[in-house]
Structure 1
Amino acid sequence: MPAPAFDVLLPSDAALVVAFSGGLDSTVLLHQLLAWQQQHPQSSLRALHVHHGLSPNADRWAAHCQARCAEWQLPCEVLRVSVDGRDSGIEAAARTARYEALSAALRPGEMLLTAQHLNDQCETFLLALKRGSGPAGLAAMPAVRTLGAHLLVRPLLNQSRQALEAYADRHQLRWIEDESNQDLRYDRNFLRQQLLPELHQRWPHFAEATARSAALCSEQEQLLDELLADALSGLIQPDGSLCFTPLLRMSEPRANALLRRWIAGQGGVMPSRDALKRLRQEVMASREDAQPRLRLGEAEVRRYRQQLYWLPLQDSLRDRVLAWADLSQPLTLPQHLGTLHASRAACQLRYPRPDEQVSVRFHAQGRVHLAGRNGGREIKKVWQALQIPPWQRERLPLIFYNQTLVSSPDLFITRDGAAVDAPGWQVVWDRTSGSGE
C-alpha cells in the first residue's frame, strides 16, 4: 500500500518526479508512488536517474532503472553529471552535482521526491553532531523544503529501512547495490556499517529517538525564525545586503542568529561558530577604509560602508579586453553580464575616428575628466562618488577608444569621448540578455 504520508504531502493532481537511483529505497518509493498515482489519475509520475560515472557499474545501473521504469510504464530520463571532489570530497561533490542536475531537469510545477528514510535521518543527525552543528544542523532533513522554484519532498522519513526491506520482499522488487556503500572511508558508511548496528542493538528505538530530537530542534529554529523575523527585515536592504552596525551592539548569540538567517536567505551553507566569529572580527569590526572579505563555501561576504554583501565567487574580469569592431552588431559580455548595443537615440558619445579602435574593458586607473565637470578626478574617487562597491567596479563595462576611457554605460562620459557639435551615439547596456562565459 502507498505510504500514508503521501495523502498528507501530495496534492491529488501533483506532477511527481522521483530521483531514482535503482537502490532499495528509491525502488520502494517509486513502486509506492506508482500505486498512489493509479489511485489519483489526475497526477503524473516520472523518474530521473543521475549517472555520476564514478562506478564501473554506472552504465548497468542506468540500464536497470530504465528497464524497471519500462516494466512499470513510466518515463525515465538518465542525467549524466561529472563530479570533481578535489575541493569538498567525493560525497559532497556528488550530492551537489546530483541536486543541480535534478533541479535543472524539473519542469514547471513538478515536485521532486527523494527516498531518504528514518535511518538516513538518524545518520544525518549524527553527522551534524560530529560537525558540532547547532539546532539548524541537528534539525536534519525536513519532509518538505524548496529546491529553487520547486518543492523537494521526502515522504519516507518516518519509515525504517527494515520496513522498506519488508515491503520490497513482499512485492518481489529487484534493486541494485552500490558497492561504494561498503567503503568505510565515507563517514555515512562508517555510521551505517559500524556504529549504528551497535546502537540499535543496545537501544532498538534509537533512530526514532534521534528523529524526535531532530524534530524538536526544527521547532526551535522555526520559533527563532518567527521571533527574529521583524528584526531581520529591518536590517535587510532592498538590494539584499545587511546593515550590520546594530549587530555590533547586540549579544553575540542574537547577532549570530540574525547573521545565520540572513546567510540562509542568500542561499548560503550555514557557517560554523568560528566562521561567524571571523565575520564579526575581520569584516564587521574592520577599519572604515578597509575592503575586508571572508570566503564561506562557494561565496564570500564583503563589506561596503556599513553593509554586508553576499557574493558568489567569480573569476576576475580585470584583464579582459573585448574588441568591438562592428558597432552595428551587439557585443556579448562575459559571465552573463548582458550585451551592449550601439544606439543613435541619443548623441552623447562621439563616434570613433578612423584610427581609433573600440574596445570594452573592466578596469581603469589614473585620472579621468568627466564631461561637464571642471578638472580631473582619480577613477577611484569617481566610483566612490557614484557609490559603486569595489567588487562591482570590475564588473562594469568600460568603453575605450584605443587606450583612452570614453564612457561607462549609464554612468558617465569622459571629456575625451563627449560628442560636441557633431553626430554621436549611445551605448545601451542590456543586463538581461547575456549568455557569455
Structure 2
Amino acid sequence: MLDTLTSIIEKYHQPDGRIVLALSGGVDSRVLLDLLARYKATHNGITCLAVHVHHGLSDNANEWAERCSLWCRDYGIELFIEHVELNLARNVSIEQEARNKRYQALEKHVKRNDLLLTGQHNADQLETFLLAMKRGSGPKGLSAMPECTSFAKGYLVRPLLTISQAEIVGYANLQGLSWNEDESNQDIRYDRNFLRQEVIPSLKSRWPNIEQSVLRSSQLCADQESLINELLHDRLVEFTAVDGGLSISQLRHQSELARNQLLRLWLGSRKSIMPSFVQLSLIWNEVAMAKADANPRMNITSGEVRRFKDRLYFVERLSDVSSWSEFLPSNQWVELPEKLGRIQLTDKSTETPLSLRSPRDDEQVQVHFKPQGLTAHPVERGHSRKLKKLFQEYGVPSWLRTRTPIIMYGDQLAMVVDLFVCKEFHGDDCEILWDKV
C-alpha cells in the first residue's frame, strides 16, 4: 500500500508543494497518516501536515481530536484542528452541510501546488454513484471520483481509490493501529449509511462484481462529460468576459441543451456547486430573462447567480467587510479580508492615469470598503458626486461596490482602486497595486 501512495504522490507532487492530509481519524485517514509518515521518513525536505475538522456533532468529538493530536505528535507531523459550526436548520441536509463546512475548512490550508490527501476507497465509488443516481444526476454526477482534481490553489488526491476497505482494515490491524469509530456511521437515517448498511450488501450478494461494473459505467459517464466539455470549450471562452461574466445575448442563440451545459461549465469554472435541473431552469428564466430594469438573483448552495447588464455573474457567499480597515504603509503589502487579495502603496513605476500625489505628513493612508455617505470628484470629471452614483456611472455591479478598496488620505477619499483618483489627490508620485489572486 505504501508503494501505491508513493507512486501517486510522485505523480502529482511539485517541488514547491506540501502534502496536506485530511485526518478525521477514521480507519481510512488513520491508515493514510501512517503511510504518509513512512513516506516522509524516506523523503527529506518534503513538508507534511494534517488537518482535523471538529464538527462538534458527537459527544466524542473532543476525544477524536485529542487522539489525532497524539498520533500526529508521535509521527512528527504538524496537526491543525479546525472547529466549524453547522447550520442545523430544518430542511438542511446534515451530511451535505458537514461536507461543505469540512471542505471550506480544509481549503484554508491548501496553498499553491499543495496536495490534499483524502481517504476515499473503491467502495466509496459505488456509494457516490448510487447517491448521484438517487438525485437524478447527469453524466457529471454519475462520473467516477477522479484520482486527482483541482482544489483551492492546489489539488485533491485520493490515493486509496483502487484499494478495498477490507485491505485498509487489514493493514491497520497488521500495523497495530487504533482509529476513531464514529457512532453515526451506524445511523441509517443518513443516506450514505443506509446504502452502506442496507443496500450495497444485498447488491453485492446478488452481483459480486457490481463495484467493477459501476466503476466502468462511471468512467463512461466521465468520458462522455469530457467530450461534451471539449466540444463546448471554445464557445465558453468566447462567451465569458474578462471579469468572469457570461454573455446572455450569446447564450440566447444556443439550443436549450447546449445552453444548460454551458451554464454548468461556467458555474464549474467559478468553483460553484452544481445547481439542480430546476435551479438551472430558474437561472435562465428568472435571472437571465428578467425585465431590463430588474435586479434579479438566484440563490444556490455555494453562492448566488446575478445579472448585470447583458451578463450573468456568480457571486460567492462572503462575509460583510464594511467594518474592516487598515493603514497602508509605503511599499508594504497589506492582506485584504475575505479572499480579496492584497494591496500596496508604492512609488510609481508604470505609466498609469491612476497615480497619486505623495501623502502629506498629516495624512495617514488607509484602506477600507465602506462607500456609504462618501462623495468623490474624479480627476476626469467636472464636479463631485455621491460615490453611490459614481459606481453606477462607472458600471460597477452592485455586489462589488462594497468589495472594491477605497483609499483614504486622512479623512478624505483619495481613490477608488482600479476606478478613479480624486482631483485633489492626483499626482505623479505613487500608485496602488491590487493583487487579486
Question: TM-score category by the smaller chain?
Answer: 0.7 to 0.9
- Which amino acid is the alignment partner of residue 8 of structure 2? L
- Say which of 84, 87, 108 aligns to 1:85: 87
* Secondary structure at the counterpart of residue 302 of structure 1: strand
- The alignment status of 1:197 with 2:196, answered yes or no, reads no
Q: Which residue of 1 aligns with 2:5?
A: 6
Q: CA deviation at 1:275?
A: 1.1
* Secondary structure at the counterpart of residue 307 of structure 2: strand
Q: Which residue of 1 aligns with 2:31?
A: 28
CA offsets per residue over residues 122-161 of structure 1, 9 Å max, x none? 1111111111111111114211112222221111112222
**TM-score of the aligned structures, taking structure 1 as reference length:** 0.77
Q: Distance in 1 between matches of 2:317 and 2:219?
A: 34
Aligned CA RMSD, in angstroms, stands at 4.5
- Say which of 219, 222, 234 aligns to 2:223: 219
CA contact (8 A) 2:374 2:413 kept: no
Q: CA deviation at 1:301?
A: 1.5
Q: Which residue of 1 aligns with 2:265?
A: 261
- Say which of 205, 208, 211 aligns to 1:207: 211
Q: Distance in 2 between matches of 1:75 and 1:406?
A: 48
* Secondary structure at the counterpart of residue 195 of structure 2: helix
Between 125-134 and 105-114, report the one with greater CA deviation.
105-114
CA contact (8 A) 2:369 2:404 kept: no
**TM-score of the aligned structures, taking structure 2 as reference length:** 0.77
Q: Which residue of 2 aligns with 1:386?
A: 394
Give 5+ residue unaligned stretches, structure 2: 328-333, 348-354, 363-367
Q: Distance in 2 between matches of 1:96 and 1:321?
A: 26
Q: CA deviation at 1:365?
A: 10
Q: CA deviation at 1:193?
A: 1.4
- Which amino acid is the alignment partner of residue 2 of structure 1? L
Q: Per the alignment, do residues 254 and 70 of structure 1 end up closer, same or farther by CA in structure 2, a change over 3 Å counting? A: same
* Secondary structure at the counterpart of residue 105 of structure 1: coil
* Secondary structure at the counterpart of residue 208 of structure 1: helix
- Say which of 42, 50, 57 aligns to 1:54: 57
Q: Distance in 2 between matches of 1:261 and 1:334?
A: 28
Q: CA deviation at 1:383?
A: 4.2
CA offsets per residue over residues 2-45 of structure 1, 9 Å max, x none? 35x4354221895533323222212233334445555x535747
* Secondary structure at the counterpart of residue 209 of structure 1: helix
CA contact (8 A) 1:83 1:90 kept: no
Q: Distance in 1 between matches of 2:173 and 2:385?
A: 78
CA contact (8 A) 2:358 2:430 kept: no
Q: Distance in 1 between matches of 2:51 and 2:402?
A: 41
CA contact (8 A) 2:371 2:388 kept: no
Q: Which residue of 2 aligns with 1:247?
A: 251
Q: CA deviation at 1:92?
A: 2.6
Q: Which residue of 1 aligns with 2:297?
A: 293
Q: Which residue of 2 aligns with 1:355?
A: none
Q: CA deviation at 1:270?
A: 0.8
CA offsets per residue over residues 43-73 of structure 1, 9 Å max, x none? 74745241413322223223333444455x3
Between 369-378 and 236-245, report the one with greater CA deviation.
369-378
Q: Distance in 2 between matches of 1:297 and 1:233?
A: 25
CA offsets per residue over residues 320-342 of structure 1, 9 Å max, x none? 79999xxxxxx99986597898x
Q: Distance in 2 between matches of 1:214 and 1:418?
A: 63
CA contact (8 A) 1:46 1:74 kept: no
Q: CA deviation at 1:371?
A: 7.7
CA contact (8 A) 1:369 1:377 kept: yes
Give 5+ residue unaligned stretches, structure 1: 325-330, 353-358
Give the number of aligned pairs: 418
Q: CA deviation at 1:260?
A: 0.6
Q: CA deviation at 1:77?
A: 0.9
* Pair member with larger Rg: 1
CA contact (8 A) 1:85 1:92 kept: no
Q: Distance in 2 between matches of 1:47 and 1:372?
A: 52
CA offsets per residue over residues 80-126 of structure 1, 9 Å max, x none? 31222336443233323333333333465542211111111111111
What pairs with 1:86-165 in structure 2 (closer than 5 Å)?
Answer: 86=88, 88-106=92-110, 109-165=113-169
- Say which of 362, 367, 373 aligns to 2:371: 362
CA contact (8 A) 1:244 1:306 kept: yes
